Structure formats: structure tokens, C-alpha cells
Structure 1
Amino acid sequence: MTFPEITDLLAAQFGSDLQANTQNLQPYLTVPANQLVAICQFLRDDERLFFDLLACVTGIDNGPQANTMEVIYNLTSIPYEHNLMVKVVLARNTTSNELPVIPSVAHIWRTADWHERETFDLVGIRFENHPDLRRILLPTDWVGYPLRTDYQEQDQYHGIKTK
């Protein structure tokens, strides 16, 4: 199935809030965060699509000026040999200590469990209803999120120089 066919199928099912971008080398579909779980469930369960593999979840910090973050999902249908990139844009929440929040898809694809934990750990995006959201690469008491554009590395960690 081609990207336009997938996009048309999703637009018919979920409405016009979806934004298709074909300007990049790999086209992608931007979806609202409040529809993410329903769309992902449909992408996996619909027999015409059957996206049975969540290959990657990527978190991107667009910086304090843009005040947005992105979560990108790379999906593959192994039997049908088609791919889809789905993006969600979130407010960065720079005015408070709250992290941006997006629903977890770990109950749809088991691989999301560790992908979401890595994104949480390094970028600071919280995945609501994740079964075990905790740091996966950094120590549990690490301060901050190293892949944020405004991250300030600590000078020391438990008496060990970090710079």
C-alpha cells in the first residue's frame, strides 16, 4: 500500500486532523496526540495495513524558541512490506517543570516499552499509562535530560567529574 493510500484510509477513519507531509525523502503523517492510540491500534489491527512492527520511537526537542517537541514512530508491516512514519508534535512546557505528555503505545506494540523509556530518559517526554516508565540508560538519580537543547551537564555526579 502506498503512502497516499494509507493516508486516505486513515483520513476516512479518523477525519481531517491528520497532516500528510510528502516534501521529505520519507513522507510522514502528523497526528494529534489525543488520537495517537486509536490510530496506532487501527494501523496494527486493520487487515489491509497490519503494521505489526514498531521499529523505532524517536524524541526530538525543537528548543525553547519553537517550544515544541516531537515523537516519531517508525512502523513496518512485515507481511505487506510497507512502512509508515507517524509524528506527534507536543508543547515543550518550558514555563514549568512539567514534562510534555503523550499516551503510551506499549500495550499495542511490546517494543514501545523500551523505546518510550529511552525517549523519556534522554529527552524528557512522559508516556502516560506506560507500564514501567523509569530511566533505562542513565542512573535513576540523574538530573535532567541530555538530548534536550538546553541541557546543562552537571559538573560532578557522586564526586566523579563529568566534564
Structure 2
Amino acid sequence: MALELNESLQKTIDGLSDQFTEKLIEVYQSTGDTFARIEADALVEVCSYLKDEHHFVFLTDIAGTDRYTSDERFEVIYNLVCMKHQTRLFLKVRCEEEAPVLNTVSTVWKAANWMEREVYDMFGVRFNGHPDHRRIFLPEDFDYFPLRKEFPLLGIQGSIELPNTTPDTE
């Protein structure tokens, strides 16, 4: 199946194919968007290339997902926008369940700082080289990652002190 891409996005995909032949796993389209999945060890290099050579200067979002599989359980998705050509590319990277780690892209886009902290806080994916690797929503001593599939829907009783929700009756 051939992808139907605009000229700018086609040049980007061709460039990725040429420059990162061994690191580009797949390219596909879904719901009108283009996705490229790469090897985790090429993440920073590919992101720098996309920013410098293809003008993907705007990192819109970083999202984590728990695929709940025995192989490459966690996936991190980078939502990139090229303002010059008005194109969007979703870059995907997977990591294993045991000690999930990726390199930070905060050296490429400063905006990645808080987004990576959120992915760490919710899924437990660590980012090597991150300038401020702390939890962003939950206490530092919280032992769980709430967006992992095994986390109970109602939370873990007593794991975090909750505020009193009973209204005052005075």
C-alpha cells in the first residue's frame, strides 16, 4: 500500500528512509495522519534531523501508552509539526516493560522537559539525560504509575492521603 503524502511530508519520509535505513521500523497512515516508528537508540538523532533538516520545530505533545504486551510494552509518541510546510508527523518509540528508558529529547526541544516528566509520572518511562527528572503530579515517594494497565481503576487504598470531602455543617 502506497502512502498518499503531500510533497513536503514525502520528502521527510524519504529523508528518514535514506538517513536511518536500519533505524526506521515502519511508516504508515491512520485517520489522515502519518506515523513513523523508529528504534529507541536513534531517538535523539532522528529528532535532531527532523528539526534541523525538515523544520519540525514545534513539539506539540509527547504521549505515553501501555500496550500491555510481553514485548515492547510501552510506547512513547512524539507529535511533531512543521510550521513552514504545515505538516504533522507522529514519531513512535517503544521500550520494554522492565526498566523502560529512553533518551531525553529536551536537548532538541526544551518543551519536552515537562512532557517527559508527565510520561514518567504516569507510565514510569525514564528519560536519560533529563535535566529535572522529578514527578510532576504525584508525590516523589508514590510507588505506582497510574496509567499502567495493571493499576486498579479505583486506585490503591491508602497509597496517598486524600482531602476531606465532607462539607462543614456549621
* Pairwise TM-score range, normalised by the shorter structure: 0.7 to 0.9
Structure 1 residues 158 and 10: CA distance shift in structure 2, 3 A: closer
Superposition misfits of 4+ residues, deviation over 6 angstroms: none
Aligned to 1:83: 88
CA distance in 2, matches of 1:80, 1:151: 41
Question: Which residue identity does 2:29 align to in structure 1?
Answer: T
Structure 1 residues 8 and 16: CA distance shift in structure 2, 3 A: farther
Map Cα deviations across residues 66-93 of structure 1 (whole Å, 9 max, x no partner): 5511000000112221111100011112
Question: Which residue identity does 1:108 align to in structure 2?
Answer: V
Q: Which range is displaced more, 74-83 or 99-108?
A: 74-83
Structure 1 residues 3 and 155: CA distance shift in structure 2, 3 A: same
Report percent identity of matched pairs: 32
Aligned to 2:55: 50
Q: TM-score, normalised by structure 1?
A: 0.86
Question: Which residue identity does 2:37 align to in structure 1?
Answer: T
Aligned to 1:39: 46
Q: Within 5 Å, which residues of 2 pair with 1:152-163?
A: 152=152, 153-157=155-159, 160=162
Deviation at 1:5, TM superposition (A): 2.6
Number of residue pairs aligned between Structure 1 and Structure 2: 155
CA distance in 2, matches of 1:38, 1:133: 21
Q: Does 2:13 correspond to 1:7?
A: yes
Q: Which range is displaced more, 149-158 or 3-12?
A: 149-158
3-state SS of 2:33 partner: coil
Question: Which residue identity does 2:84 align to in structure 1?
Answer: P
3-state SS of 1:27 partner: strand
Give 1 or 2 for the bigger CA radius of gyration: 2
Aligned to 2:3: none
Deviation at 1:60, TM superposition (A): 0.4
